[in-house]
Structure formats: structure tokens, C-alpha cells
A and B are shown apart, each in its own frame.
Chain A
């Protein structure tokens, strides 16, 4: 256990510094990169908060689909390979809801709001 600030609070401090102090000093091109950097730090804050529960859920979902348990990174590779080899061509109704859920998890970290926009 580390002392406060927590990892997320430190990321927030750096993001605030870039946003409030640094960005104003930059030209348009660098200001754009500063904005991207702040977005990256916000992404990391969300990842710190969400990743542990997401990874457990991904393991459960992918293992269920593949019929075998392993480290979650290994299951991702196995699923991608199985789909490429056509092993899920006849199991789309099982596959697609799982892909929805794990993709929504990635978006909850990378770009929350993307899944809720209207079509």
C-alpha cells in the first residue's frame, strides 16, 4: 500500500497541470498533443478503476465460450484464432453477445459515451 495521493490522484494532478498551466503556452499543433495527453491520463484513471473487475469478467466470458480456462490474455489470442479458423461460423448467436460485452468494457475505459450514442 502506497501513501496518498493514490495512483489515480497523481494522474489527475498531472492532467490538471497540462490542462491549466502548460496548454496555454503552446502553439496550436502542440496544444492538440497536450489535449491528447490529458485524454490518455484520463483513460489510465478509468483503467485503474475498472480493469480488475473487467479482467475477471472477461476471463469468465471467454472461458465459457472456449470451454477452457486460462490466463485472460491467452484466452483473447485463442478466441481470435478460433474465429479466424471459422470455428465460430455456426455459433454467432453465442459469440456476438460476448463480443458486445467485452468491447463495451474496452470502450468504458477508452471512450465512455461511444456506446450510448444514437444511431
Chain B
């Protein structure tokens, strides 16, 4: 395997050669630039020019030497499955599970223009009309995700029950070895309120404002399918309402834009099964706990020396926000 490209020029050259080979004719690669964000996967924007036509594309590549949770070829299959189910997603063009062409596994998809930064989506004047539609559109998109046939998605593995998910969080917290009494309390709370079993569905696993592309008219694409799995679909509804994803608009539980009722109403109107009473709160508590434990985990990547980063270090001190939000939820507020 060739080493990872050392600079943008080298990556552009390898992309050009890969795309030309796949197309059977010369392809030009221009305007390659790394986009900010993407802790688990690098994101690059570029244009491919083939037979005089410019195609705006996105490259998402695993950080060389650090494979991400989801195989890139499988992620392309997920995007295709979501598209067939009527979910707005970027069209996946190519995905490779090996590092051979570009130094690390990657996926290339068509570029969807629009806003992805949560605070702008929630506040930008020009997106006011989009915000009026967005909660409803998210409810609809979630209903379509959860109705997607699972038969071509075997790689997602067996359904994960709520109990398994809670036990996974418990062992994660135990392995991190730091005392977090509120997280322990939340785990007890969750264990005594496990939802009864539902028909397993495709769960996006990270459906929140930060993983959407939004245009003036509203939702254009649902991104970041790396954490997709099979399980209780209400998990996605709860995660969308976690306080951390309201970005300061705390009084609007559904993504900082609307009410839980508005979200569920749109979800049901698009064919989703309404969560049983109490289940939405269960999944909000689960999601808040999960993000809190992820904060500790991210700081541990810095502390272990695996990825030195002031950003990761600082996230460790955010765990107490999730503790506060959990106490609100457990006491019936929030």
C-alpha cells in the first residue's frame, strides 16, 4: 500500500488517477480543499471535470492509520438504501474499503450546497423560512429512514436491544474509570424503564442538526451515517431532542427549533409508529448519557496521547452539562 498522500497536491493527483480509471476517460480534479470539522473522517470538497462537465463532489476519507466505525463501501450502500426509502441524502458515487487508491478508505459523493453549521441553521436570518419547515421535514425523514427495508443491509448486524445499548454505556463508563455519580444514576434510571420490544428498524444513530444540510427551503440532505444500526427507531427521535443539539435554544426541544409534539406529529403523518408513552424520555436520557460519556471518551483520546488536541481536552469539561440535563430529565423537567 502506498503511504497516505502527504499534501493536497498529491491527493488531487491520486483522485484524478482513480476517477479517470473508473470512468475510462481522463478526469480533471480542481479546487480540492479540506473542510473544517469531521473528527472521525476528513471531509474534502472538489470539482471533477469530465468531458467538459463540472461535477461538484465531496470526498470523505478515514484519517490515514485510523479506520472509522463504518466501512466506507458499506456507508455508500447505506446512502443508497436511504435514497430508495425517500430520505434526502447525497448521491454516493464511489466508495472503497481499502487504502490502495487514496491512502485510506474513502467515499465520494455528490456535493449538496447549503448550510451545515448548527448555530447558523438555528439563527441565520436567511434560513428563517427553512426553520419553519425543518422540524416537520426531520420527522418525515426519520419516518422514511425507519421504514427502509433491511434486507440489503446485513452488514449492520443483529438488532441491538435497549438493554444491550444501556449495558454498553455502563461498560464504557466503567472502562473510563472516572467517578460520575449522575451518569450512574441515569444508568439505574434507564435499566428500570427499558422500552418494550419494537419491530427492529434502520436507526440513523446520529440524527441531529449538526448532521443536516439545510437550504432556504429547508432540509436538503441527511449526512453522517457512520453510526447507523438496527434497533428501536425511537432512539433517533430522542437523540434529536437532546439538549446539547439545541445549541442554546433550550426551550425548543426538537433540535432547538420546535416541540417534541411537532416532531412526533410529522413522524406519524409520514408513517412512523408513535413512541409509547415514556419511551421518548427514555431515549432522551439515553442520548444525553451517551453524549456525556462520549465527552469523557474524547478527552481520554487526548489524555492517553492518542490524539493530542486542546479541543478534545476541553470537551472533557463539558460532561457536567450532560449531568445537569440528565437531572432535569430524571426530575421531569427539561
Contacts and interface: CB of A to CB of B under 8 A. Distances in A.
Contacts of B306: none
Contact of B181 (A28, A33, A80, A110): A80
Interface stretch (A1-9, A49-57, A97-105): A97-105
B320 A107 contact: yes
B79 to A, nearest CB: 26
B323 to A, nearest CB: 5
A39 B314 contact: yes
Contact of B320 (A36, A37, A39, A110): A110
Interface in B207-249: 248
B36 A110 contact: no
Interface string A108-119: 011100110111
A117 B248 contact: yes
Contact of B327 (A43, A100, A110): A100
B333 interface: yes
13 contacts: A33-B309, A40-B313, A80-B179, A80-B180, A83-B185, A96-B327, A96-B330, A103-B182, A103-B320, A109-B317, A110-B318, A110-B320, A110-B321
B193 interface: no
B187 interface: yes
Interface residues of B, number: 30
Given A81-B179, A95-B185, A99-B181, 9 more contacts: A39-B314, A88-B188, A99-B182, A99-B327, A103-B320, A106-B323, A114-B324, A115-B324, A119-B333
B250 A33 contact: no
Interface in A66-93: 76-77, 79-81, 83-84, 86, 88-89
Interface of B: 36, 170, 179-182, 184-185, 187-188, 248, 250-251, 309-311, 313-314, 317-318, 320-321, 323-324, 327-328, 330-331, 333-334
A115 B179 CA distance: 21
B36 A32 contact: yes
Interface string A20-41: 0000000011001100110110
A106 B320 contact: yes
A86 B189 CA distance: 10
Contact of A79 (B181, B314, B331): B181
Contacts of A107: 320-321, 324
Contacts of B333: 119
A19 B334 CA distance: 34
A79 B250 contact: no
B36 A28 contact: yes
A36 B330 contact: no
A109 B317 CA distance: 9
Contact of A40 (B182, B251, B314): B314
B2 to A, nearest CB: 26
Q: Which 10 A-B pairs have the closest CB atoms?
A: A80-B179, A106-B320, A83-B184, A76-B179, A110-B317, A117-B250, A77-B179, A103-B323, A84-B184, A79-B181
